[in-house]
Amino acid sequence: MTSNQHVLDWVKEMEELMTPDKTIWIDGSEGQLRALREQAFATGELTELNQEELPGCVLHHTAKNDVARVEDRTFICTSNKADDCMMVNWMDPNEMKAKLLPLYKNVMAGRTMYVIPYCMGPIGSPFSKVGVEVTDSIYVVLNMDIMTRVGVKALRQLGDSNDFVRGQHARADIDPENRYIVQFPEDNAIWSINSGYGGNVLLGKKCFALRIASYQGYKEGWMAEHMLILGIEDPQGNVDYITAAFPSACGKTNLAMLIPPEVYAKQGYKVWTVGDDIAWMHIGDDGRLYAINPENGFFGVAPGTNEKSNPNALHTTMKGTIFTNVAHNLENNTVWWEGLDKNPPEDVQEWTGLAVDGKEYIANGGKLAHPNSRFTAPAANCPCLSKEFNNPNGVPVTAMVFGGRRAKTAPLVYQSFSWAHGVYVGSAMASETTAAAAGAVGVVRRDPMAMRPFFGYNVGDYFAHWLEMGKKLGDKAPKIFNVNWFRTDDEGHFIWPGFGDNMRVLMWILKRCKGEAEAVETAIGYEPKPEDIDITGLDGVTVDTIKGLLDVDKELWLEDVKGVEELYAQIGDHVPAELHAEAAALRERLSK
């Protein structure tokens, strides 16, 4: 399949280490992939679903001890001890390799090694990167085929270059005590062992696309961010693109696939999805920032996805999708999860594969589907997929948005005073724990740029890289905003309706970027005039409601600045002086 000696030598090294019975190179052909699906059906690794209702769809169950990313078993290993900051697990590379190499020795004896060449980003894009993953899991092969561009085309993209990410995955014994997901950014390498769950074993996902790529971007002058990319098309056909970063449980996929409310749909506005999770951003020839989605599919959380919350996502899963740890509806050989509808099937297997009599669920929390159950769906299925999805040059970014889940502190929307202030806003990102999470309610968890689990190097240096990118962009830099859909009233009810109505806020953001909307200068940034948020057709929301959503409680904000300063102290002396100055300036404005 390839004459690239760097790839051939590395694959040989993997064969000698893990000693598989045979090696199969994945060429990306439908015939080869179909044969692998049939093999997985025969062994029970996958279950073929109702092909009339869900053509090309299959079901998979992971081990009960292997259902999510494991942050405590995820490591960044670099020679720079300064990378050992409070947000990532760091270990010296030589120490980690000495620990892991015995686990990999002969681990594929009696098994088949699959070699998966894959491209992150559109084929032919100068911004795309290539990886090669070896694995002993057909499930991984089939997921990677959905999430990336797999096979011969990826090897063509690589050519004779040695610039590829080496990923080695082995299921081993699915032993949680010996489960490791390790990134070696300086070696362009990822090692994963003793897991079969997607987020730990689809090495193009967070491992490459964020942890390794953030380090590559730092070294090469671009950005790899945990951001969605969406386009808003006006009635004249002009499209503006927004990237946005949110911590988990803040509606990122829903925003990426937003359906315009009636007031905008009637005028002819449309929303297009470029990506729901990750953005790689480079400075283009015209000096503007351009974004590509390095992925080729969606690895989404199933529970809560339904015809009302996110119809575009639901429709995307209707063909060619791999469902993981959802319930199996035996009545018609389809799938079900909590929030899909209000009618759980009676003849059903819960996510562990055990039969349920319709009365007593065995799964944790009384759920048929695991709370972190997933769908892996091709982006091509998405009804609102942007025609620029495969544009090799990416799309120009007009605005960047940060957001979190804050009950009282953050207003509905505000704009940063400058790029440096915007970097401070991103670094201060946080969400409050909800009743659904273990522990106390309302505890603030800092999650800078929504990258907390995904930094590939020192967090302070990461902030400095953001500041440096802003200097390079100059007056062509995107404007930076913060949003909060989650303000609550005194009874704890959400005040803002959210979902498609979030477009009303995005429209003000775009007007600000074009100089078409005024703003009110506050201590924290520029806010809209309450009457400038279009509330046409919104029941129960008045201009006074918007005024309340924009209120800034200075005491709460002073407390927030204190929390950011504590975060900076934990990160250490790599935090840029500009961010300390931004925190001090905010404190001074609030104190006036």
Angle at 486 between CA 481 and CA 487, to 5 degrees: 95
174 class by beta-carbon count within 10 Å (0-12 exposed, 13-18 middle, 19+ buried): middle
**DSSP letter, residue 129:** E
422 is in an annotated binding site: no
What is the biggest distance separating any 2 CA atoms in the chain, rounded to whole angstroms?
72
Q: How far apart are CA 143 and CA 145, in angstroms?
A: 5
Angle at 395 between CA 243 and CA 163, to 5 degrees: 95
**DSSP letter, residue 478:** P
199 is in an annotated binding site: yes
69 is in an annotated binding site: yes
Q: Is 145 helix (H, G, I), strand (E, B) or coil?
A: helix
249 is in an annotated binding site: yes
**Active-site residue, 119 included:** no
266 is in an annotated binding site: no
**DSSP letter, residue 392:** T
**Tokens at residue 553, please?**
């409680």
309 is in an annotated binding site: no
Active-site residue among 57, 250, 382, 384? 250
254 is in an annotated binding site: yes
Q: Is 323 helix (H, G, I), strand (E, B) or coil?
A: strand
Q: How far apart are CA 456 and CA 446, in angstroms?
A: 17
500 is in an annotated binding site: yes
Pairing of strands 444-446, 430-432: antiparallel
Smallest Cα–Cα separation from 339: which of 349, 326, 351?
Answer: 326
Pairing of strands 228-233, 239-245: antiparallel
Q: How far apart are CA 532 and CA 528, in angstroms?
A: 6
Q: How far apart are CA 55 and CA 42, in angstroms?
A: 18
**Tokens at residue 517, please?**
């909307």
Q: How far apart are CA 192 and CA 167, in angstroms?
A: 8
204 is in an annotated binding site: no
514 is in an annotated binding site: no
One-letter identity of residue 303: P
> 242-272 burial string, b = 16+ CB within 10 Å, else e?
bbbbbbeebbbbbbbbbbbbebbeeeebbbb
409 is in an annotated binding site: no
Smallest Cα–Cα separation from 33: which of 312, 322, 446, 279?
Answer: 322
373 is in an annotated binding site: yes
206 is in an annotated binding site: yes
Establish how many alpha carbons lie within 13 A of residue 579's alpha carbon, considering only the half-sphere containing its beta carbon.
Answer: 31
Neighbours of 34 (CB within 10 A): 11
404 is in an annotated binding site: no
19 is in an annotated binding site: no
Establish how many alpha carbons lie within 13 A of residue 99's alpha carbon, considering only the half-sphere containing its beta carbon.
Answer: 17
Residues in the annotated binding site for substrate:
69, 197-199, 248, 372-374
Residues in the annotated binding site for Mn(2+):
206, 226, 277
Residues in the annotated binding site:
69, 197-199, 206, 226, 248-254, 277, 372-374, 405, 499-502
Residues in the annotated binding site for GTP:
249-254, 374, 405, 499-502
Question: What amino acid positions are annotated as catalytic residues?
Answer: 250
